[in-house]
Chains A and B, each alone.
Chain A
Amino acid sequence: MKKVSTDHLDRIVQFIRTKGNGDVSLGDVVALAEVTVESLSSFFRSIDMSVYRELSDIASFITNMKVEVGRLQPNDLKHSRIPAAGMELDAIVKATEKATDTIMGAAEELMAADASDPVAYKAMVDERMMLIFEACSFQDITGQRVAKVIDTLKHIEMRVTRFADAINAADADGYLSEDERRREERKIKNILHGPQLDGEGVDQNDVDALFAKPEKKGKDAATAK
């Protein structure tokens, strides 16, 4: 921003010094006003231009932000894609539960079956086995549902990544809500990380090796034997 012209200020100071000890006429006041207006007009012009540029930059940023938010397609995500993905996951859970129930029910009936009549037993085994085969068909449709959910996640990831790049966003610390904070703190307190992917956790042999090591004596040591 430009400074007020010192030349004009010097003229104001000189004028006041000249008239400082004498009577001041209306003409003097008008003359002083003219000098002051002349001195400050360039200053106000420079303020106008600077504010205009700032506001113009802000308006441009807001316009770009609206375009980027539009490309994020938040309404489509909120009202369509995310609910649809949730329904697919619900359907997967229900299908696996139903299939598991069918398979386990058939297995339990086989284990409890009376094998004293071989012909009847064979017919019963064949029927239950057919139920198990049919129930296993859930895997095909759940595989397709999982693919749809993965597709939705990729769709969201692509848009969020683009949005973050466009606004040059940095990750903020903290939690979005009290509920989120409670859930995260519960995970830490209860050491909830699982289930691990292949290669991330230890296997049963590693666990057994850890249990084979003698426990250090202390107040937290195991008490039950």
Chain B
Amino acid sequence: MAVDLSMPILVVDDYNTMIRIIRNLLKQLGFDDIDDASDGSAALAKMKEKKYGLVISDWNMEPMTGYELLKEVRADGSLSRTPFIMVTAESKTENVIAAKKAGVNNYIVKPFNAQTLKAKIDAVFAD
């Protein structure tokens, strides 16, 4: 399945610099409809107002972590099928397994590059 470049993407990170980096990388990849949120609860509120084609989220945020956001999204009938990529510095096997078990579609370890981001987005929509 080809990636729809017009789909809205929600980037969730508590560091404005990281949001800016991911936003620029996504623009370079051809995506244009990009929103952002600074934590899981802000992201959840935006997801209930707008249907996103992809969520790219950090793990460690306050008050709601990306892990909690993932579980909330998967438990919500109207949001549960939203593709979800975790982009995080949490690089223990335990974290990757927990995220996979919670239903994450892919997992990127920080620091990362544009090529990795593109490959993981392609992989999510190829499944």
Binding site for B on A (CB under 8 A): 97, 100-101, 104, 107-108, 111, 190-196, 200-204, 206-207, 210-211, 215, 220-225
Contact = CB atoms under 8 A, between A and B. Distances in A.
Nearest to A201: B91
Dominant SS among interface residues on chain B: mixed
Interface string B10-40: 0000000100110010001000000000000
A204 B108 contact: yes
Contact of B90 (A100, A111, A193, A211): A193
B48 interface: no
A194 B66 CA distance: 13
B2 to A, nearest CB: 16
Contact of B101 (A190, A196, A221): A221
Interface of B: 17, 20-21, 24, 28, 59-60, 65, 67-68, 74, 80-84, 88-98, 100-110, 112, 116, 127
Most buried by A among B67, B103, B104: B103
Nearest to A204: B109
B92 A210 contact: no
Contacts of A222: 74, 100-105
A223 B100 contact: no
B67 A190 contact: yes
In the complex, which of the residues A108, A190, A200 has the most CB atoms of chain B within 10 Å of its own CB atom? A190
Contacts of B101: 215, 220-222
Contact of B80 (A107, A193, A203, A223): A223
A223 B74 CA distance: 7
A102 B82 CA distance: 35
9 contacts: A104-B17, A104-B24, A193-B94, A194-B90, A195-B90, A196-B89, A221-B103, A223-B80, A224-B105
B47 to A, nearest CB: 13
A107 B23 CA distance: 13
Most A CB contacts (10 A, CB to CB) among B20, B83, B112 go to B20
Nearest to B90: A194
